[in-house]
Structure 1
């Protein structure tokens, strides 16, 4: 882990997506942060020590999902598949499929394995899986403010964790998607899916992979817009919303909370999801696992 002394920074952005506003001046206390996302090898140690069974390895109960289609009550997780032709980016079902037998040990489906992926970030972890690992390790999941402070690496007012350009002088600084998503990935960064941790330069604090590679869970419940304090106040150690504020208003009958995810993933592209930035944020239901969601931990004090 890397020790951060904490301090003040400006959280948020006005340059990309509305949920990143407003700009809020924030102060965080000192904390330690994992140098990289939790890897498959590290997660395997946790599972061996505790017998933990991830959400993706348990068949969903139809009682918890009214209207579940027949035959869908089987263990599985969401797996990304490139489209065979260029398609619009308005319908994620064109590139996501719920795959029976996909889980952290089988990241691309039941016939896949972790061979050669020990140092890649673990994926197919729901929020409770990440929280269980953190508790076992004597750590915690970061708040959104802690995560963003760490990701910025000491840079103020920059769009990216390394400056103002996505690829300065043509150098790829993180594992993202190059080309037309979800059809053609030119792999200028060398990777089509996840990459080994530390494959790209660290930020100013020496932390790797906070941008791209995999989305990372935080401890905070989603809130569409962070509240800006009146006057000249600096918010100390802010937390997100509540379970109630986190519900998806487009699905009023679904009462599954959503947590904040940060950092973007290897599927973020210039034509889709430009969330490969410290200020970017995304709401994800806590029961969801996918082939591009992982996490890292913090320790406070």
Structure 2
């Protein structure tokens, strides 16, 4: 690729890349640049790995004899139950991933994220424990049995934050949410780069409502997390401007083109609708202490 394209992929300036080339083995890269280069290499084809190994050997560099595998669904999955609300959470390890529509390298620390969005059943336990106002679409303050395993909707950012605080968690930042959805290599969708509306509940599904959170098995992310491309939009903790916060994912009301995890969206923190919900995160360090007792 060109110097300009290479610089964009690793989040550096054209001038910096030219300086790397000029200084060769005297250069000392910052950790974030090393991580971005390692991420690009991990996602490259086998012939690129072999060319890299050949060049490294020609420079007398000692390299591992076993090729580093590309991230995959099975190799990245590690799940536990949060001891406070009992929900399954998946580990997203620290490291660089390609973020946003420009695929810029970003380095979040390790965290756990809910495998499924917060459901009506989860919210019912929260309401019973705290006396929080139930969602407006529940009949007489109770959710219908048929939608207990659907994502909760008609929740403001304040409602989502209140649940997260009760559960001993937090709302994800926009980069945390996106990394859990896309993996590290800059894939367009949780499952790769092929546009496949059937792998999520968007407007094209024709269902016309939310669906059970565990329905779309073929649409899971590399970390085994569900519903990142449809069903509901999800609140994040990232503020876009005063009184407004980012939303991620498309929804059952959205066209599939708007379900791409990198797409920017935001709303007033007071907004509540029939296609907006949330999920929670916990720092890996906090989870370790909770599980230890």
Which bracket does the TM-score occupy, shorter chain normalised?
0.5 to 0.7
Give the whole-Å Cα distance in 2 for the aligned partners of 1:130 and 1:104: 16
- Equivalent of 2:254 in 262, 265, 268: 268
Quote the RMSD (CA, aligned, Å).
Answer: 2.0
Structure 1 position 282 matched with structure 2 position 259 = no
Question: Compared with structure 1, are the counterparts of its residues 138 and 8 closer, same or farther at alpha carbon in structure 2 (3 Å cutoff)?
Answer: same
Classify the secondary structure of the residue corresponding to 2:117.
coil
Deviation, structure 1 residue 115? 3.2
1:256-298 CA distance string (max 9 Å, x none): x11000011111215xxx2211101211100010000000000
Classify the secondary structure of the residue corresponding to 1:205.
coil
Q: Which structure's relative contact order is higher, taking Cα pairs within 8 Å and 6+ residues apart?
A: 1
Give the whole-Å Cα distance in 2 for the aligned partners of 1:141 and 1:104: 23
Deviation, structure 1 residue 157? 2.9
Task: Report the counterpart of residue 7 of structure 1 in structure 2.
Answer: 95
Conserved? CA contact 1:166–1:173, under 8 Å = no
Task: Report the counterpart of residue 207 of structure 1 in structure 2.
Answer: 225
Deviation, structure 1 residue 198? 1.1
Q: How does 1:17-28 map to 2 (within 5 A)?
A: 22-28=102-108
Task: Report the counterpart of residue 93 of structure 1 in structure 2.
Answer: none
- Equivalent of 2:138 in 105, 110, 124: 105
Gaps of 5+ in 2: 1-88, 286-293
- Equivalent of 1:53 in 133, 139, 143: 133
Classify the secondary structure of the residue corresponding to 1:268.
coil
Question: Compared with structure 1, are the counterparts of its residues 23 and 203 closer, same or farther at alpha carbon in structure 2 (3 Å cutoff)?
Answer: closer
Classify the secondary structure of the residue corresponding to 2:179.
helix
Give the whole-Å Cα distance in 2 for the aligned partners of 1:113 and 1:293: 16
**Structure with max Cα Rg:** 2
Deviation, structure 1 residue 153? 3.2
Give the whole-Å Cα distance in 1 for the aligned partners of 2:171 and 2:179: 14
Deviation, structure 1 residue 23? 3.8
Classify the secondary structure of the residue corresponding to 2:191.
coil
Task: Report the counterpart of residue 193 of structure 1 in structure 2.
Answer: 209
Conserved? CA contact 1:262–1:282, under 8 Å = yes
Give the whole-Å Cα distance in 2 for the aligned partners of 1:105 and 1:220: 28
Task: Report the counterpart of residue 203 of structure 2 in structure 1.
Answer: 177
Give the whole-Å Cα distance in 1 for the aligned partners of 2:209 and 2:192: 24
Structure 1 position 159 matched with structure 2 position 159 = no
User: Across the two proteins, how many residue pairs are aligned to each other?
Assistant: 194
1:153-189 CA distance string (max 9 Å, x none): 34x232222122221xxx71111111xxxxxxx62xx
TM-score of the two chains, using structure 2 as the length reference: 0.62
Gaps of 5+ in 1: 14-21, 57-102, 179-185, 223-245, 248-256
Deviation, structure 1 residue 130? 0.3
Deviation, structure 1 residue 211? 1.6
Give the whole-Å Cα distance in 2 for the aligned partners of 1:164 and 1:130: 31
Q: Which one has a larger percent helix, Structure 1 or Structure 2?
A: 2
